[in-house]
Amino acid sequence: MNKIKTNPENVKRIFVIIALFASICVLADDCYDTYELGKELYQEGKYAEAQLKFIAVSKACGNYSNVYQYIKNCNQKLVETQKHQVSQINALKIQNHQLEDEKKKADTECNNNLANAAVQVRRAENIVKLKSDTIQMQRKWNLVWRDSVMKVNRRLDSISLLLDTANLQIDSLKTIIVQSEKPTKKKDKKQAEKQDPIIPSVLDTLVIDSLTNDTTIINNNE
């Protein structure tokens, strides 16, 4: 039986080829998995993460499948996303400025309303005070008027009493006059005429006494 002679150098070459082939297979599997993961991330809109996966594939496997095109697409998507974010930031800044302006206007309007309210409150307080003073003054005048009315009523009562007394005295005097005008059987007309002047003097005396008494009553009532 013939023995096959092996050259050590050939054996080394075979091992190197096998190792290279195995590494290429492993590398190809890694590139495939990474590439597919990058595609999934790209479909989900995670362009930055997908770009990192595609760059890793391109470094390890070169232009594996369509990796360069995906890298380019990721760059475009990232630029578009960045522009959209910038536009959103600008819109938010504009909105923020508008809100600040509205807040300033609202604060100014609120301060003006507070100032107007304070003025109205002071005016109302002054009106209330003025009305209170007027009411107090009216009460004082009512008291004075009531006292005056009471005094007038007392005077009227005194005058009524005076008139009643005068009427009674007049009736008494009329009775005296009537009785004095009747001639007696023992007296003649001349004697009756001589007695007539006495009657007015008696009447005057009674009237003066009555007026004096009535004046005293009025003064006491006042």
Cα–Cα nearest to 36, from 66, 14, 13: 66
Distance from C-alpha of 53 to C-alpha of 37, rounded to nearest angstrom = 7
Q: What would the pLDDT profile of 151-176 be if each residue is shown by its tens digit?
A: 888 888 888 888 888 888 888 888 88
Statement: the pTM of the whole predicted model exceeds 0.75? no
At 67, the pLDDT band (50, 70, 90 cuts) reads very high
| Burial class, 108, CB count within 10 angstroms (exposed 0-12 / middle 13-18 / buried 19+) | exposed
List the chain domain ranges: 8-103, 143-221
Is the pLDDT confidence value at 76 over 90? yes
Distance from C-alpha of 35 to C-alpha of 39, rounded to nearest angstrom = 6
Q: Which residues contact 74 (CB under 8 A, 6 or more apart)?
A: 42, 47, 48, 50, 51, 54
Is the pLDDT confidence value at 217 over 50? yes
At 150, the pLDDT band (50, 70, 90 cuts) reads confident
Higher pLDDT, 23 or 77: 77
Q: What would the pLDDT profile of 4-57 be if each residue is shown by its tens digit?
A: 455 556 544 544 443 333 334 334 578 999 999 999 999 999 999 999 999 999
Averaged pLDDT score across all residues of the chain:
78
pLDDT of residue 70: 93
Pick from 22-26, 78-82, 199-203: least confident: 22-26
SS (H, E, C) 25-39: HHHHHHHHHHHHHHH
Task: State the angle between helix axes of 8-43 and 67-181 in degrees (0 to 180), rounded to the nearest 10.
Answer: 20
Sign of the C-alpha dihedral, residues 175, 180, 183, 184?
positive
**The domain defined by 8-103 carries CATH number 3.20.20:** no
Is the pLDDT confidence value at 118 over 60? yes
